[in-house]
Amino acid sequence: MAISEQVRQDVKDAMRAGEKTRVSALRMLLSELQKAAKEGDGDELAVLRRERKRRVEAARAFRDGGREELAAGEEGEAELIAAYLPAELSDAELEEIVRQAVADSGASSPKQMGAAMKSAMALVDGRADGGRVSALVRAALGA
């Protein structure tokens, strides 16, 4: 079942259960998925990752501004979106992928970090945050 179909079904279930905040978040997510499909971007996982990242950044901004209640709402939406994403890689799995990417790219110095990152991100395939990958690549190259 496509992610958009699953979200559509979850909207119906949440409406039946009377979960207004969940319905609102799921409708927003469904809208973004439909908009991306209409624009020709069929990568639903990329849409989910983008929307999750937006929520995490918004929560951080609200928290920095002293708006805990709004930050909590954004974090709740980020968790809801994360439930539709594939499981994140563990630290050990990610370290192994980075080791392999650095070896495959032939990078040996911090100046070659771009090539190593490109290789690592292709292997990670969205199962880890770019910041985590970047930190491990930087450490592997001694930067």
Does 17 have pLDDT greater than 80?
yes
Higher pLDDT pick, 59 / 4: 59
Average pLDDT estimate for 53-63: 95
Same domain for 72 and 117, yes or no, is no
Same domain for 19 and 71, yes or no, is yes
Average pLDDT estimate for 63-77: 94
Last residue of a domain, one of 65, 82, 99: 82
Give the CATH number of the domain where residue 64 resides: 1.10.1510.10
pLDDT confidence bin for 1, thresholds 50/70/90: low
d(CA 55, CA 71): 9
Same domain for 122 and 52, yes or no, is no
Same domain for 8 and 27, yes or no, is yes
Q: Work out how many domains the chain is built from and give that number.
A: 2
The pLDDT, as a whole number, for residue 75 is: 95
Same domain for 64 and 108, yes or no, is no
Give 21-52 pLDDT, tens digit per residue.
999 999 999 999 999 989 887 788 888 989 99
Domain that holds residue 112: 91-140
Give 78-119 pLDDT, tens digit per residue.
999 999 988 888 888 888 988 888 888 888 888 888 888 888
Nearest CA to 62 among 53, 54, 70? 70
Same domain for 76 and 100, yes or no, is no
d(CA 48, CA 41): 12
What string of DSSP letters covers 91-136? HHHHHHHHHHHHHHHT--SGGGHHHHHHHHHHHHTTSS-HHHHHHH
